[in-house]
Amino acid sequence: MTVAPGRIHGFVGRNGAGKTTTMRITLGLAEPDGGEVRWNDRPVTAADRRSFGYMPEERGLYPKMSARSQVAYFARLSGFSATAAASAADATLDAIGLAERKSEPVERLSLGNQQRAQLAAALVTSPELLVLDEPFSGLDPVGVDALADVLQAQVARGAAVVYSSHQLDLVERLSDEVTIIDQGRVVAAGTVDAVRRRRGVDQLRIALEGGATAWAEGLEGARVVGRDGDEVVLELLPGTDDQALLDAARRAGRVTSFRRVLPSLTDLFREVVSR
């Protein structure tokens, strides 16, 4: 698994597949049974890890401390002076939308704002590698968009970002690359488009006026794999001419929608982790 600078890397798998363990090994919080973590083409060192930012799935905030004091404390742990830590904490909290709440104890913040404070602790040192374990969990759509903007700003300055999530539609939308693991092994990896194309099978989505779908049963060269509203979802068999299927649909009624699409990341995930 390779995470490149200036890229957002989605890391997905079933519960217990090994995502959190991999992240903990990367941060030096667990020892691997085999293999190694490399940074810039050499084994990672403790000094390297000082340039990493980490947001664990289990939030580790001190409830009685203010967000500002807390983020500054994490900066001090990374070697910042008191003055530099306070300045960096203010700048980071302002950037993620907590400027007006940063002096409040964390326990008084909403769940979404607590998550922002936790993210600020990971960002305060301007890390070269940002490792986020389920950062979107519990966020509403506005919070998701705000966090996505923060991640885009990190890669724009050249940082590498790797995050885990069970929200595969979100992973598909935000990530440049994705790695899917199952039982501790990589089962698919690459750019999102490349991973979606790995099956070599396209789907057709066809809708007829009135929503009829029975016409698609038993078609030569395709099989029905689902229905989505008025659309029937067909999987093309090798060598099938999609225009022949369009002709078959026209014989059944007036075609209102005809589109060829790649399988979604969710479709692929279901396939590769169920073998």
Say which CATH number the domain at 249 has: 3.30.70
Are residues 139 and 97 part of one domain? yes
Are residues 66 and 179 part of one domain? yes
Determine which helix (DSSP H) or strand (DSSP E) holds 259, and give its type and residue range: strand 255-261
pLDDT digits (tens, 9 = 90+) for 197-220: 776 567 789 999 888 888 888 888
Task: Tell me the pTM.
Answer: 0.79
Are residues 105 and 15 part of one domain? yes
Of 196, 226, 251, the last residue of a domain is 196
Rounded Cα distance, 6 and 128, in Å:
9
The answer to the question of residue 241 being in a domain is yes
Are residues 262 and 229 part of one domain? yes
- Write out the two tokens for 151: 């991640």
Q: What is the pLDDT of residue 275?
A: 57
Are residues 211 and 192 part of one domain? no
Q: What is the mean pLDDT of residues 162-178?
A: 93
Q: Please list the alpha-helical segments (H only) found in 96-191.
A: 111-123, 141-156, 168-174
pLDDT digits (tens, 9 = 90+) for 244-257: 889 999 999 999 99
Range of the domain at 205: 200-272
Q: Please list the alpha-helical segments (H only) found in 37-110.
A: 46-49, 67-77, 82-95
